[in-house]
Structure 1
Amino acid sequence: MTLDELIQTVPIRESPQGHLYVRIDDVPQPWRKQFVAALQGSAFIAIQGETCMTPFAHDWDAWVRDQWIGRPGPTGLDEPRV
């Protein structure tokens, strides 16, 4: 999977209150495990009806683009990030 494919695979959702988030269950492995590790110490949104972890979309965006300072981005993609 390429970086662009990974980004397109994970939908950004909006809560009834207008908060943008992602569902951990939408992130394919092995990146789900990597993202969960990077989330240690981060805040999550409590979304009524969601049954999995729901981090903020800006955390996903920073992580997937390897721009989250001090936290490693996704590894094992088919093409190098630019």
Structure 2
Amino acid sequence: MLRNPVDGTRLRILTWLSEPAVAERGLTADDVATQLGVPRPVALTHLRLLTALGLLRTCADRRYVRRDEVRIAEVAHLFEKGW
């Protein structure tokens, strides 16, 4: 789910969201579309998938998303155990 066989877009979004300046503010679908050079609906699809997986959470205004570090740590732990 994280690695798109073509380009790894979702993994790039998660990595980008770990940068301190971006992590503090969060990202919008428009930010992702601009940064990755994809149409907004494509960016929105990636963000919705990552949110549905629990790896991102929406902020109060529901426009911005941030990483859910607790969930990411849980998933990383599962993979470390050979899930």
TM-score by length of 2: 0.33
TM-score by length of 1: 0.34
